[in-house]
Amino acid sequence: MAGNTIGKVFKLTTFGESHSDFVGGVIDGCPAGLTIDLDFINSEIQRRKPTQKDISTSRKEEDKLIFASGIENNISLGTPIAFFVRNENYNKEDYKDLKELFRPSHADFTYNRKYGINASSGGGRASARETLSRVVGGSIAKLFLKQKANISINAQIEKIGKWDYLTQKEEIEKAFEKINREGDSLGGTITCEINNMPVGLGEPVFDKLSADLAKAMISIPSVKAFEFGDGFKGCMEYGSEQLDNWNEDFSTKTNHSGGIQGGISNGMDVFFRVGFKPIPTLNREVSYISKDGVINEIDNKGRYDKCVLPRSIVIVESMAALTIADHLLRSYTNKI
């Protein structure tokens, strides 16, 4: 299986499946001399853990992080940083009746058809469990960005389902009651802003900063939509309404373009929106298809999130950090 690495200079390779003994990764290209704040990294891991009992999975992992190489006395050595976490709280028995079946809207079928085999329990590499490695890699990227360029990344939930997260709390609570009662799920949107961006990050034409951020976000499990700046709304307006006119210090009066022009950062804050689908594992009868093509209605079992948005904020930030760190290092080679 190819495609397990992101980045060209600051690179993260992840490994492990939902129910394998370990998940982890290797960071290559992290400069030497970076102060590694272990408390910060562990706090980022905590942000990814399930916390809301009404919508989060009941699977509880200790997530004790072990660094195997690349760090000495909390300072990066410039060599590959390898890390891993042991999976302990998984239950393969929940999936024993599903080995010959494909769930609707899951990756079971596509993985099986592509490789001739798929993980017999959990979601394998398609599981959100894999994102733990992204959060560890992203936390180190955040440390690099903060120490080197004072760049900060902040994401937040914008909507759950069709309701505004900040102003429609009561409606969202009622929606959670409904999905718990009916065994359903909800998606939503997360916005992300990257502050203190320098001018000049991005490598046209195929490695535009916008293109690489889009790829990073779309690679997150359950992500189905992505837009920069004014996004689709801006596509329906006149050009005169979308101009980002100049200030005398080369900043712009507006930021319709989301901080990127021609695939290169322009020094304004980078702003984007990520859309998450409702997860397809429902606590009700759904139609499974066997490898022989027989469709049956079967009750779902297992532990899963009913809404991934709260746990996905840190994942969005981590993927953004990995992308910006990679492009910041690449920018050092552009001119003398």
The tally of domains found in the chain comes to 1
> How many whole angstroms separate alpha carbon 175 and alpha carbon 178?
5
Is residue 305 pLDDT above 80, yes or no?
yes
CB neighbours (10 Å) of residue 245? 7
pLDDT on residue 22:
94
pLDDT band at 123 (very low <50, low <70, confident <90, very high): confident
What one-character-per-residue DSSP string does 20-73 give? SSEEEEEEE-PPTT-B--HHHHHHHHHHHS---TTTS-S------EEE-SSEET
Report helix, strand or coil for 213. helix
Mean pLDDT of all residues in 228-240: 97
> How many whole angstroms separate alpha carbon 257 and alpha carbon 243?
8
> How many whole angstroms separate alpha carbon 135 and alpha carbon 63?
12
Q: pLDDT tens for residues 58-73?
A: 667 889 999 999 999 9
pLDDT on residue 58:
63
Report helix, strand or coil for 217. helix
Contact 65, 51 (CB under 8 A): no
pLDDT above 90: percentage of residues in the chain: 83
pLDDT on residue 60:
73
pLDDT band at 137 (very low <50, low <70, confident <90, very high): very high
pLDDT on residue 1:
74
Is residue 45 pLDDT above 90, yes or no?
yes
Contact 197, 151 (CB under 8 A): yes
Contacts (Cβ under 8 Å, ≥6 apart) of 223 = 217, 274, 275, 276, 277
Q: In what order do the strands lie in the sheet with 223-228?
A: 163-164, 152-160, 188-195, 270-276, 223-228
pLDDT on residue 211:
98
Pick the residue with more confidence: 228 or 54?
228
Residue 78 identity (one-letter amino acid): G
pLDDT on residue 118:
83
The verdict on residue 207 lying in a domain is yes
> How many whole angstroms separate alpha carbon 143 and alpha carbon 151?
9
Contact 135, 315 (CB under 8 A): yes
Report helix, strand or coil for 225. strand
pLDDT on residue 336:
81
Q: Which two tokens stand for residue 108?
A: 């079971």
DSSP state of 331: H
Mean pLDDT of all residues in 36-63: 86
Provide the mean pLDDT of the chain. 94
The verdict on residue 336 lying in a domain is no
Residue 200: give the domain boundaries: 5-331
Mean pLDDT of all residues in 82-94: 80
Is residue 159 pLDDT above 80, yes or no?
yes
Rounded to a whole number of angstroms, the CA Rg of the chain reads 21
Give CA torsion, residues 39, 158, 323, 119, to 10 deg: 80
Q: pLDDT tens for residues 19-36?
A: 888 999 999 999 999 999
> How many whole angstroms separate alpha carbon 72 and alpha carbon 19?
31
Is residue 54 pLDDT above 80, yes or no?
no
Is residue 242 pLDDT above 80, yes or no?
yes
Is residue 120 pLDDT above 80, yes or no?
no
The verdict on residue 159 lying in a domain is yes
The verdict on residue 25 lying in a domain is yes
The verdict on residue 30 lying in a domain is yes
pLDDT band at 302 (very low <50, low <70, confident <90, very high): low
The verdict on residue 119 lying in a domain is yes
pLDDT band at 91 (very low <50, low <70, confident <90, very high): low
Q: Kindly report the CATH number assigned to the domain that includes residue 312.
A: 3.60.150.10
